[in-house]
Amino acid sequence: MDSVLIIEDEPHIARGLEQNLKFEGFSVRVANDGQTGLEMAVDRQPDIILLDVMLPRLNGFEVLRELRRLQIAAAIIMLTAKGEQLDIVRGLDLGADDYITKPFALSELMARIRAVLRRQRSHCVKEESLSFGRVEVDFKKFSATVDGRPIKLTTREMELLRLFVEREGEALPREEIVTRVWGYDYEGTDRTLDNFVLRLRQKLEPDSGKPKHFVTVRGIGYRFLRNGA
């Protein structure tokens, strides 16, 4: 089921959209301000975000900028007010996928949603399995083997691994990894991430003391290299 996050502070619009999208078969969540919307987007990774511009706490542009900085994969459709041409240009510049001008017909919104979902599917096939070195990981079955022997990975370890795979070769900043894997309001210590990476190394590296795949990037964070350092 495709999931939609509605970030909209006008209750009657939010409620109307929620009911109609549920009726169309989407799983729907609503946030009534920008900050809450941002946190829900990071924590729940919806397929689509409907994002109002004028919002309390963070406005729509601020939310959009932060979502794109964190490389949240959701398709984002801006809900702009009539006649706000500048809003549209700015939103598209900041990485919105599409926009729709209020007031709009539900049929028009549905057409936009289907179009962005189609585009998203065509160039963003999520990796379902992975092999590197002696390791095979199946993200769908949540299973992994080393040299054909099954090993246990926790949900968090899987999420961390998936992030590394999606962003293979990039130096990933610590804060970004923590936000993506543990959520926006995570308040653990810095050591938590290091401990998780250490566990991935112990489980998946040939020699965890000399990591080839999960490499430390000094002063920044970590980098995943499928073919080894």
Q: Which is nearer to Ca ion, 59 or 192 (CB)?
A: 59
Tell the residue number behind the tokens 């998780």, with chain if given.
196
Indicate the residue whose CB is closest to Ca ion. 54
Bridge partners, residue 223, by sequence: 215
Residue 175 backbone phi and psi in degrees, to 5: -60, -40
Minimum Å gap between C-beta 105 and Ca ion is 19
Our CB check for Ca ion shows the closer of 1 and 86 to be 86
Compute the least distance from the CB of residue 73 to Ca ion, in Å: 25
| Helical segments of the chain, H only | 11-23, 34-44, 60-69, 85-93, 106-123, 155-166, 174-182, 190-204
By C-beta, is 96 or 177 nearer to Ca ion? 96
Contact characters 45-74, Ca ion, x per CB under 5 A: -------x-x--------------------
For residues 27 and 101, which CB has a smaller minimum distance to Ca ion in the complex? 101
Which residues fall within 8 angstroms of residue 183, CB to CB, at 6 or more apart? 39, 42, 43
Comparing CA positions, the residue from 129, 188, 122, 116 lying closest to residue 158 is 129
**Cα–Cα distance, 203 to 153 (Å, whole number):** 8
Residue 9 near Ca ion by CB under 5 A: yes
Using the contact rule CB under 5 A, the part of the chain among 5-13, 65-73, 113-121, 152-160 near Ca ion is 5-13
Q: How far is the CB of 32 from Ca ion (least distance, A)?
A: 10
Interacting residue ranges for Ca ion, rule: CB under 5 A: 9, 52, 54
